[in-house]
Amino acid sequence: MEFLEEMRPMFSCMSLLGLFHAPCKAKPRLTPIEMDAEHKAKAEDESSAGLPARDRRPRRSRAPGGSWWFCLLVCFLTWFQFLRFLPSYWVSVEHHANLLQNRIIITFWYLQCALNATVMYKACSRQDQLQEFFRLSRDFCKKFPTHRPNQHQVKRLRRRTTVTVAISWIFNVLNVLIVVVSFSELNEDFVRNTILFTDPFGTSIPSKVFAIFLLFFASSSWTFPITFSCAAASYVRLRFNTLTVNLETAVTGSKTYFPLELEVYRRQHLQLCACVRVLDRTLQRLIMTSYVTNVPLTCFIMYRLVVSPPQAFELGMLIFWLVVNCLNVFFISVWAALVHESACSPVDCLYEVFTSGATQEHLTQLQLFVSRVTGPSVGFTAMGIVTVTKEMVLTLCGILITYFVLLLQYRID
């Protein structure tokens, strides 16, 4: 089960939105001797008996991936969206009272979209990030072909990823539709939102069309990187869980002797830890971006809703943003915490290994395995500062709930 092949629908959607691209690999230049050898081998294959060589060779499916220049264009558009909004704090075509809070909310949201698009472009462009993770995933499938998840688990992972991609599309379309409706300017509430999304270019028809165009790519950069993070974490977690189940079966079946295949499971665990370490080069930036932008954004939206409740349409828009932002932080944190838990799950099986009669080499293997599982935390981090665990997720939820209760108390007083 290779990650790139199993998640092809998700990567295809991200390619259409400029959030994923395959690296451009230049074809190696051959010397005249190598060209003659290649031509000779090709001629021998074509003249061989049986089927032609091109039919006998296994066909490799093309990896999904858009153009790097399109992804770079999306990065430029998201950063342009953020930078063109900054002058609206002091240069605005029309000034309305009570817009500062909304401007701060939109500024944080634009910043998050630009950072997400930049992180995905860099992850796809560098060979030591996503491409290295894909290579490690292929190597794991080749080295351990018999230790694979069952088909039911694979299908469930595909179905879950498909549902997540569909939800991301729904959130993206709803976000754009909300802004399009606000551009109708049916009342004063709609006019204020129109000014927010078109500043500092005015409220003309071309300005509205251009704002909707930028908003579509910004909304995609808001949701789909989180979808990718959850899908990647689910894949790694499934691999760890499969390893734990196989290890439990081996330990249970060897009640009176040392399991000889323990070294194979240790090598699998090391390979998966390497996958987590490489994937964390990308996810640590997405996680930190989510915390740095989504948490303040959530606090500002709650403050806006509690202290100075807006009118009906703006109220619905802010509630929608609040829900999606909370879901983004929740999903990316919980899935990262589940990977940490799955990476440490083999420890209970290792404590039950029967060691009577084991050789010194076997005991060394067991000790190395236990040290790896109980040693430094294996999981995704926030820029390498802290590993995301269940305890950290509970702490973060407690902070947001406490802040909301304090706002309510402030409103009552």
Say what the pLDDT of residue 200 is.
72
Contact 198, 207 (CB under 8 A): yes
pLDDT tens sequence across 384-402: 899 999 999 999 999 989 9
Q: In this predicted model, what pLDDT tens digit does every residue of 269-304 receive, in sequence order?
A: 999 999 999 999 999 999 999 999 988 888 888 888
In this prediction, residues 159-183 reach a mean pLDDT of 87
Give the helix ranges, DSSP H, for 86-150.
Answer: 100-125, 130-143
Residues 6+ away with beta carbon under 8 Å from 310:
189, 304, 318
CA-closest candidate to residue 157, choices 269, 237, 66: 237
**pLDDT recorded at residue 86:** 84
pLDDT at 30: 44
| pLDDT for residue 88 | 77
DSSP string over 210-274 = HHHHHHHHHHHHHHHHHHHHHHHHHHHHHHHHHHHHHHHHHHHT-SSS--TTHHHHHHHHHHHHH
**Model-level pTM?**
0.82
- CA proximity to 270, closest of 349, 325, 343: 343
**Residue 64, C-beta contacts closer than 8 angstroms, at least 6 positions apart:** 4, 8, 11, 12, 15, 20, 22
For 129-132, the CB contacts below 8 A with 24+ separation are 129/278, 129/281, 129/282, 130/279, 130/282, 131/23, 132/278
CB within 8 Å of 360: residues ≥ 6 apart: none
Task: Number of helices (H) and strands (E) in the chain: give both, helices first.
Answer: 16, 0
CA dist list (Å): 323 to 137, 171, 294: 34, 11, 11
What mean pLDDT do residues 257-262 have?
A: 82
Q: Predicted confidence band at 335 (pLDDT cuts at 50, 70, 90)?
A: very high
Span 77-91, pLDDT tens digits: 999 989 988 887 776
Q: How far is CA 227 from CA 215, 231, 269, in A?
A: 19, 6, 25
Backbone torsions φ then ψ of 412, nearest 5 degrees: -65, -40
Average pLDDT over residues 175-198: 73
pLDDT for the residue 150: 75
Does a cis peptide bond (omega within 30 degrees of 0) precede residue 87? no
pLDDT at 190: 65
**Mean pLDDT value of segment 217-236:** 91
